[in-house]
Amino acid sequence: MQAKFDIVVIGGGHAGSEAAHAAAKLGLKTLLLTNNIDQIASMPCNPAVGGPGKSQLVKEVDALGGIMGLAADATYLQMKTLNSSKGPATRSLRAQSDKKQYSVWVKQYLENLPNLTLYQSSAKAIIFDSENSHKVIGVETSLDEQIFADAVILTAGTFLEGRTFTGHKFESSGRAGEKPSLGLSPQISSLGLKTGRLKTGTPPRIDRKTIDFSKLELAPGDEELNFFSFLPHRPVRRQYPCHITRTNANTHEVIMNNLDKSPMYSGAIDANGPRYCPSIEDKVVRFPHNPSHHFFLEPEGLDTHEIYLQGCSTSLPIDVQWQIVKSLPGLENAWITRPAYAVEYDYFPGIQFKHSFEAKDLDSLFVAGQVLGTSGYEEAASQGLMAGINAAIKVSQMKSETDLHNLNLTDQFRSFIKENNAFVLGRDSSYIGTLVDDLVTKEINDPYRMMTSRSEYRLVLRQDNADQRLTPLGYDLGLVDDYRWNIYETKRKRMEKELKFAHYAKFSGDNVPKDLGIKGSNRITLEDLLKKQDFTWEDLKDINFEETLAEDDKRRLKRDERFLKRVEYPFELETHIKYKGYIDRQMLQIRDMQKRENIKIPEGFDFKNCEILSLEARDKLDRVKPLTIGQASRVGGISPSDITSLLISLEANKKQSQKETAGA
């Protein structure tokens, strides 16, 4: 069988699902090639979406028109806002998901998407042009079928040359019970792309019926629901609790007595694992002063009794896993339904790729997800979205006017590709921009996990304003449809009215609900009230504004038809007002950064022979090949003095070029 598509996506995980969705929605004929159609958007590790740094990614994917937020909202078992007592920049939504329902929801969504075809098979090799060995033209399947395409997006997750470990036992596997992808990474590396090895893991699953919940601490969801998607009419589902147990001296003794049986400590695995999500044996070894580590017991779904033991990731032998589990309060009689394991796999260091996720040295090959060195569903989805968009742009620009006319492209996308060769988000615009920039400019040696601390602009890049930051960009691109755009515009106009309302709605001192030193007939605006550190929207939520406002303000509000009987966006209103000074200061930092970011480095600049730079800087910059001074400044190991030297060299080259032009 031979077939022709505009884009082929290899892998049906979270990166592949978003990549296929984006490419197809933009009008490109797309094929999603996956080992198992029933495992699309599977959650092989924790059945959850969001968390610190990650919820910001999900909100941004949704704001741009992606699907992860919609799927999480449709299939949650519990919604919980983390860090709710802290500042707005660190608050993060987390959904405990129904593992099976989530996968089914995404599969059905993709099946109904125009321009997208699903096909169950594995990719055996990439097909390259016979006249240009570095140009991708398709994929060969394990059944020796040839599927041709103008671009290929590789989102193979942990499957490239994958091996799973439980103690000293290992097998070739992408994850438990599933075949690995063999041959792809050796083929690609033979053409010059470097590979490395990374490791991740998963904990044991426990039979709910064998757990004594009376000994566990309850971890309920939020009473007042929040959602990932900015679209309305999200389903209100029953909330299911999680629970907490903790390790103890007995647990730690079992682990320390069996360290030699761990493939990580015996040398069977020498790949780096996630630094910020270590195995339980890593935690015990690295933090010996800590007498206890907590585990969350999380339900995997409504149709199963399996409980996910979050925090207990391990690759120790199964007999040791039994001892660990039975040492935990409430789990003395627990039954393990699925043992924990570690998986080691090939990945491609990100510095070999452009900000569009296209390989620098392999034309039309895009890569996204764990295969690019990240950890987590949310990071994968973000990359998949960006790779799908950029592959669609590249393919569209390659087509003739006739072929382009025959595509079902939106008017916005047609306009976009006339003026843009790629869709790239800056660090100042989004966590996605931060993620992409980190991956392609920094040498990362362990699975990258997004955290709020990775963004220098996190006060501006909050989860609550992702739609304000990115929905206009998604609409200009053509990924945000008219329905979502109208909802966004309605919200934007409403928030403008609410900010005006807060600016001139005044309260007399007698009506201020807290003692702030405002007495009698003295007036204070809602805006000034919310600026006070010890005053929040919660202090006003039960007040009837119409009764509280001064008479002249009532008349003004009614006359201007701006009187708001109910504020719809209290959190956004309070955050905007209370942190305005800090936000303005951060916006100044962004503008200063953009000056440097906009200084372009000429394509093909010879870093190796730039003698004014140190040898180390030459080597690092030559490997990454940054396109701007801003990108160069973020390359690991590049100092401020290196940037100064680079600026001097660029200026000298510019003057020399001007002299040569004048002489000619």
pLDDT band, residue 20 (cuts 50/70/90): very high
**Average pLDDT of span 405-424:** 91
Kind and range of the H or E run holding 284: helix 280-286
Confirm if 129 and 137 have CB atoms less than 8 A apart: yes
CA distances from 363 to 34, 135, 324, 351, 442 (A): 23, 5, 49, 16, 22
Tokens for 650, please give them.
């660029």
Q: How far is CA 635 from the centre of its chain?
A: 21
The mean per-residue pLDDT over the stretch 260-288 comes to 84
> In this predicted structure, what is the pLDDT of residue 564?
47
pLDDT band at 212 (very low <50, low <70, confident <90, very high): very high
Q: Tell me: the pLDDT tens digits for 342-355?
A: 999 999 999 999 99
pLDDT greater at residue 16 or residue 173: 16
Greater confidence (267 vs 70) lies with: 70
CA distance 229 to 79: 13
Whether residue 559 is predicted with pLDDT greater than 60 in this model: the reply is no
Name the DSSP class of 507: E
pLDDT given at position 646: 87
pLDDT digits (tens, 9 = 90+) for 128-163: 999 998 999 999 999 999 999 999 999 999 999 999
- Residue 351: DSSP 8-state: G
Q: Per residue in 513-545, pLDDT tens?
A: 666 556 555 677 778 888 877 777 777 665 555
**Collapsing DSSP states into helix, strand and coil, what is residue 651?**
helix
> What does the buried/exposed string (b/e) look like for 463-480 if buried means 16 or more CB atoms within 10 Å of the residue's CB?
bbbbbbbbbbbbbebbbb
Considering only CA atoms, which of 484, 368, 474 is closest in space to residue 7?
368
Give the C-alpha separation, 379 to 365, whole Å. 19
Whether 567 shows a pLDDT value over 80: the answer reads no
- Cβ distance 272 to 319 under 8 Å? no
**Mean predicted confidence (pLDDT) in 49-54:** 94
What is the pLDDT at residue 589? Answer: 80
Instruction: Please report which confidence band the pLDDT of residue 583 belongs to, taking 50, 70 and 90 as the band edges.
Output: confident
% the chain with pLDDT above 70: 92
Where b means 16+ CB within 10 Å and e means fewer, 232-245 reads: eebeebebbbbbbb
Contacts of 152 (CB under 8 A, 6+ apart): 7, 8, 9, 10, 126, 136, 138, 139, 364, 365, 366
Q: Where are the beta strands (DSSP E) in 65-156?
A: 76-82, 92-97, 116-120, 123-128, 136-141, 146-154
pLDDT of residue 512: 61
pLDDT at 194 over 80: yes
Confidence at residue 1, expressed as pLDDT on a 0 to 100 scale:
65
Phi, psi of 646 (to 5 degrees): -65, -40
Stronger pLDDT, 28 or 611, i.e. the higher one: 28
Contact 122, 181 (CB under 8 A): yes
Distance CA 515, CA 323 (A): 57
Which pLDDT tens digit goes with each residue over 419-471? 999 999 999 899 999 999 999 998 888 899 999 888 888 889 999 999 999 99
Pairing of strands 306-310, 336-338: unpaired
**What's the rounded Cα separation, in Å, for the pair 307 and 300?**
6
**pLDDT tens digit sequence for 82-118:** 987 777 778 899 999 999 999 999 999 999 999 999 9
CA 236 vs. chain centroid, Å, equals 25
Q: What is the CA angle 340-345-347, rounded to 5?
A: 140
Task: List the Cα angle 562/568/574 in 5-degree steps.
Answer: 95
| Spatial separation of the C-alpha atoms in residues 613 and 167, rounded to whole Å | 48
Give, in order, the Cα–Cα distances in Å from 589 to each of 34, 317, 462, 517, 584: 44, 51, 16, 36, 9
3-state secondary structure of 165: strand
Tell me the C-alpha to C-alpha distance, in Å, between residue 457 and each of 283, 589, 628, 649, 656.
30, 9, 19, 30, 38
- What pLDDT does residue 584 have? 86
Confidence of residue 563 (pLDDT cuts 50, 70, 90): very low
pLDDT for 315: 93
Q: What is the pLDDT of residue 552?
A: 60
Tens digits of per-residue pLDDT, 584-618?
Answer: 888 888 887 777 777 888 888 888 888 888 888 88
pLDDT value at residue 396: 96
Query: Which one, of 340, 379, 378, lies nearest residue 357 by Cα?
Result: 379
pLDDT of 330 reads: 98
The per-residue pLDDT for 518 is 60
Residue of 196, 610, 645, 190 lying closest to 443 (CA atoms): 196
Extended strands (E) in 476-552: 506-508, 523-525
- Closest by alpha carbon to 244, among 277, 222, 283, 211? 211
Do the Cβ atoms of 389 and 412 come closer than 8 Å? no
CB 240 within 8 A of CB 77: yes
- Average the pLDDT over 189-216 and give the result: 95
- Least confident range from 14-23, 34-43, 262-271, 361-370: namely 262-271
What pLDDT, on a 0 to 100 scale, did the predictor assign at position 510? 62
* CA 333 from centre of chain: 38
**Mean pLDDT of all residues in 551-572:** 60
Q: Which amino acid is residue 292, in one-letter code? A: S
SS3 annotation, 41-57: CCCCCCCEEECCCHHHH
* Domains of the chain and any CATH numbers: 2-203+345-476 (3.50.50.60), 205-342 (2.40.30.260), 488-582 (1.10.10.1800), 599-663 (1.10.150.570)
